[in-house]
Structure 1
Amino acid sequence: MDSIPWLEPSLLLILALVLVSFSAFGLRALSSLGLARARYLVDDGNKKLEPFVAQPAGYIMTLFLLDLVGIVGTFWVGYELLDACFKLETWTIWLILGVVYFVFHTWLGTAFSRGDERANGSRVVTILKPFYVVLRPLTYVLCKVLNPLSASPERRYADADRIEEEFEVMLDESERHGGLENMKGRIMRSAIDYSETTVREVMIPRTELTAFSVDTKLDDALSICVQEGYSRIPVYEGNLDTIVGIMYFKDLVGKYFELRNDDAARDQIVVGSLVREAYFVPETNHIDSIFEDFKREHVHIAIVVDEFGGTAGLVTLEDIVEEFFGDIQDEYDSEEVAIVSLDSQDHVLVDGRTNISEIGELFDVEFEEDPDFETVGGLVTSRLGHVGVVGESICECGLKFIVRAATERCVLKVEISRETPIEGAGPTNDAF
């Protein structure tokens, strides 16, 4: 019996498409896994990844060769098969093969690579090992030839973004296995995010500023400084958008003792005559550049301005340092707890100024980034469409937020608990 004429080409085409899908899946799997994480997993007992860790460039090159064979096979055999069976126009055949290649390489390759990166990486290395052994002479020569000409496959892991991503993975693995203390992990993560954090994220907002008018009397200013415990306070003329300088507590005290026996002269002194030049920074600047500016200009405080030149807030050296080490309480800071557990860890009362990212970490949920707010109070206000009143609530990311204290201008306290939101449900009123 004669064999079916299109059977063998069809089988070859299927084999080529399998190679295309596998190579795409393998490249994505190993790229997502990362060489640093693979080394960590091998040290942790994953023997399946040892060949890849020993010869990463060789395994990557093997995948490239399999992909090349799959591409050639798909278009060569596919063209001959379609031309012989259907007598199609050349451009039609190329179009069909292009779509088929896209489906198998991009769509299927991406679909297969979803899931556990460790399991995918181990699976790829296990399947790829015999191909690597057979093609090793060729991959060795290609790596040696291509290495001086361009970045080798191994060097793709030296990319700055890749290094940062893999470092974060290493932190996750170390913390999961108890090899890294929480404080050390926090400092390391802060160092990674340091250059990406903007002044707006760490500044004291305008609504919380303590500032003096230029005509504030010396005695009044001194009394406020002692009460608030600040050593540097902004001075404005007219309103907070017109900051004229910074008043230093030591200058205030010096002038007070200079005139301590002359009440009449002291009463004529206003803080406007004692101000030093203020340093202004845009709210979009990153804190790493501000830190360098502080060192260069020998200042510890800066006025943050928005895009319109108005005062957005104030940033200090302490605010920047706290990005690394967390809140630093000095002798003048009151003991305020931003998050208070109620009957369980999944039921808390928080300050409205608490950053929404802290809630995400506490409840292990991820909130979508929104430029309109950064705090819990801002989230509630944004979702309600107005400043929340006591008892109003919203549902977000499986959490229920209930306003427990508020003023006409802002939300002060919010109760948060786990609750799956009802589809289509809007804001509710849940008063005590």
Structure 2
Amino acid sequence: MQKFGLLPRLIAAILLGIVIGTFLPEWVIRVLVTFNGIFGSFLSFIIPLIIIGFIAPGIGDLGRKAGKMLGINAGIAYVSTVIAGTLAFFVSIMILPNIIEVGSFITGGVEDTEAIKVLPIIELAIPPIMGVITALVLAFTLGLGIAAIPGDTLKNFMADFQGIIKLVITKVIIPLLPIHILGIFANMTYGGQVGTVLSVFAKVFVMVIAIHIIYIIFQYTVASSVGGGNPFKLIRTMLPAYFTAIGTQSSAATIPVTLRQTKRNGIKDEVADFAVPLSATIHLSGSTISLVACAIAIMFLTGMDVAFGALLPFILMLAVTMVAAPGVPGGAVMAALGLLESMLLFDPTLISLMIALYLAQDSFGTAANVTGDGAIAVIMNKISGNKLEDVSKDI
């Protein structure tokens, strides 16, 4: 099963869930609903820990490496991520109301509706040790503290804690997600809601990929206007990194290929060696596009109010909370769960749908991330006083 990628497993889970919800008796649905309840409760418990485990070490590491070039690179990455999320918002509100039926999904969660009478066999509550906002404040406090104090004890502790959280995600949450998604879709099929959701999945997938492509072209147009080069030739050189990221679903795991292709674009070695690994950690324009578009799709689907004033703080916080998330496949959506719950008021069912909808195209968001890292490297190359080298003979 480990060789069977996450996306194929999710697709198989959705299809099997539809079959189970259509043909099998209610007691089978009850078993799955019971699992979903326990898994959802555990997910609520782990969200604050994910926030602390991802954000605190990331901020602390950035603080330790403080310097002019790092600050410039981080600033460019943050602005790029915010612009990407803003673009996704405006495209989504223009397109989605025309291709999905607003309010067509029963709000308040699948398990809580009158249309679906399936109840869990048992309920197990796992209360989180702190609220999401408390976790965010604590993460920022610890991160800034790690950067400020001279000792390494807290830094090493948080690094180990982050390792534990990553293990929980990769060894527990990600492997169990297909079963969770299977239960969600079996329950929705049993209640007659699955057609609406699947239709939204397909439409949002196509829209998100289109936004990714548009934004990559925009990034390289800006980068080439600053640092030189033909934007489309620069993009063509980065394609191996793009397709590698589709397979790895991890910006961090794709760094060797991204680094090689960035240097083939004529970036000085010392600039590429600095800019690419850093951007792989803090630049998540593609993931932000995916998260914002998916969140808005679910908000329209459930009849929630979609306002720029509500989404802008979400976008601004996304660019910070996803620091260090690229090391884990699906890490971006895991890091965003707390914001979805606290800022957009997603309930456990909507969070589950969000995870499924995001992970269905997570690899393409990662691919857009790493491709955009190459554009930042072009700008950093110019800021460092270099011109693009002619390396066409090596390509």
Give the TM-score normalised by the residue count of structure 1.
0.20
Higher strand share: 1
If asked which structure has higher relative contact order (CA below 8 Å, sep 6+), I would say 2
Could you tell me the TM-score, scaled by structure 2's length?
Answer: 0.21
- Which structure has the larger Rg over C-alpha atoms? 1
- Tell me which protein shows more helix as a share of its residues: 2
